[in-house]
Amino acid sequence: MGSQFGQLFRLSTWGESHGGGVGVVIDGCPPQIPLTESEIQIDLDRRRPGQSEVTTPRNEADQAEILSGTFEGLTLGTPIAILVRNKDHRPEAYSEMATKFRPSHADYTYQAKFGIRNWQGGGRASARETIGRVAAGAIAKKVIASHFAPTLEIVPWVESIGTLRSDIDPASVNRELIESNIVRAGDPNLIEPMIELIKATRADGNSIGGVIACVVRNVPVGLGMPVFDRLEADLAKAMLSLPATKGFEIGSGFAGTQMTGREHNDAFRMEAGRVRTLTNRSGGVQGGISNGEDLFFRVAFKPTATIMTEQDTVSSEFENTALKGRGRHDACVLPRAVPIVEAMTALVLVDHMLRQRALCGDESFQLQES
């Protein structure tokens, strides 16, 4: 209960930070799609710790092994199981957490809910859990490209860290720039300041939050279901299911609440034979269904809970005490969260593509190309 995502392209992630490993099973991947471990590894490498000087030094190669669901390089239509072993664990760094709850972490709530927790690392609440999501997302992107939307492009970037914030036009950001800088900033002018801010924050034993923005280009019209499974509802759930997230907004978002309808509405116009909108305050979704414009949304990440500073807390014996973080942690999760946001976006989209195909057939995708 709680570790599955998607209706048709359905993943089950499993694994704790310290234990046999982490992984995912994907049930519902279409057959005959070329798939190799190296393709999955590309995204896992973008997520893995120790990838740069602004991430946690925990050194995990995070090598993925495909255990099932492929044959001679093609998917079979059967469940794809992927395993990543935990290697560089150091439970001894967490011995104090065995008896003290880290403030704003999941320690206390897991203990209260289940009456038990794996106190080594973050247990199930560790960001290592997202390995399964990223692996599944890599497959989702292949399904999207091969079956539904060959030119669709998901481009998330770090929009802000702390108060360092860019107002770069989403239309101008490009994936090459983002992936070529270690903070994954979308604004070239902010790369160095962001790197410096993260380094200074870590040196101070502190942590810092930020915002990831994401644009999705060349989205088919018609994705999303009426009422509960609106595309933005499923995106919101996907993003708020990530560790450390505190907010989601699409299109005009919270700022749009200050506008009037006359200012906010996106006028329709025909353009090159397609229905287009002159503005995109809708963020690509109207009535819960994609309208063919770019999806645009933002995700808020709070500062990492684990900091190298002594803080007030309580013990598992329910006495007041204090705790200073140990272990290896990101002072800022944003750079590594970019591929995770990308994966969750792909997972939401592929699921709605399969649902749309079930309900309205392949032709409902082809019509939208004209």
Q: Compute and round to an integer the Cα radius of gyration of the chain.
A: 21
Amino acid at 357: R
Q: At residue 12, what are phi and psi to the nearest 5 degrees?
A: -125, 110
Q: Which of 41, 63, 68, 146 binds its own copies (CB under 8 A)?
A: 68
| Contact predicate 216/175, CB 8 Å | no
Q: Which of 87, 114, 171, 188 binds its own copies (CB under 8 A)?
A: 114
The residue (of 3 and 59) whose beta carbon lies closer to its own copies is 3
User: What residues between 20 and 59 interact with its own copies by CB under 8 A?
Assistant: 20-23, 25, 27-28, 30-32
Decide if residue 277 touches its own copies (CB under 8 A): yes
Which structure tokens are listed for 260? 């009037």
Q: Which of 34, 172, 268, 324 binds its own copies (CB under 8 A)?
A: 268
Q: Residues in contact with its own copies, total (CB under 8 A)?
A: 159
Per-residue DSSP letter, 315: B
For CA atoms 114, 118, 124, 125, the dihedral sign is positive
Give the integer Cα–Cα distance in Å for 188 and 191. Answer: 6
Decide if residue 123 touches its own copies (CB under 8 A): yes
Decide if residue 146 touches its own copies (CB under 8 A): no
Q: Which stretch binds its own copies (CB under 8 A): 1-9, 50-58, 175-183, 185-193?
A: 1-9
Give the integer Cα–Cα distance in Å for 7 and 59. Answer: 34
Give least dist CB 286 to its own copies, A. Answer: 5
Q: State how far Cα 314 lies from the chain centre.
A: 31
Give least dist CB 274 to its own copies, A. Answer: 9
Other beta carbons within 10 angstroms of residue 45's beta carbon come to 14
Which structure tokens are listed for 269? 């116009």
Q: Which of 36, 59, 67, 218 binds its own copies (CB under 8 A)?
A: 67
Decide if residue 186 touches its own copies (CB under 8 A): no
Decide if residue 92 touches its own copies (CB under 8 A): no
Which structure tokens are listed for 202? 């870590």
Give the integer Cα–Cα distance in Å for 348 and 10. Answer: 10
Q: Which of 16, 43, 187, 342 binds its own copies (CB under 8 A)?
A: 16
Q: Which residue has the tokens 């079930």?
A: 358
Decide if residue 368 touches its own copies (CB under 8 A): yes
Give least dist CB 45 to its own copies, A. Answer: 21
Give least dist CB 104 to its own copies, A. Answer: 4
The residue (of 176 and 227) whose beta carbon lies closer to its own copies is 227
State the DSSP H helix or E strand holding residue 276, giving kind and residue range, or none if neither: strand 274-277
State the DSSP H helix or E strand holding residue 248, giving kind and residue range, or none if neither: strand 245-250
Q: Which of 175, 247, 326, 328 binds its own copies (CB under 8 A)?
A: 247
Give least dist CB 176 to its own copies, A. Answer: 26
The residue (of 35 and 178) whose beta carbon lies closer to its own copies is 35
Decide if residue 81 touches its own copies (CB under 8 A): yes
Which structure tokens are listed for 12? 């089950």
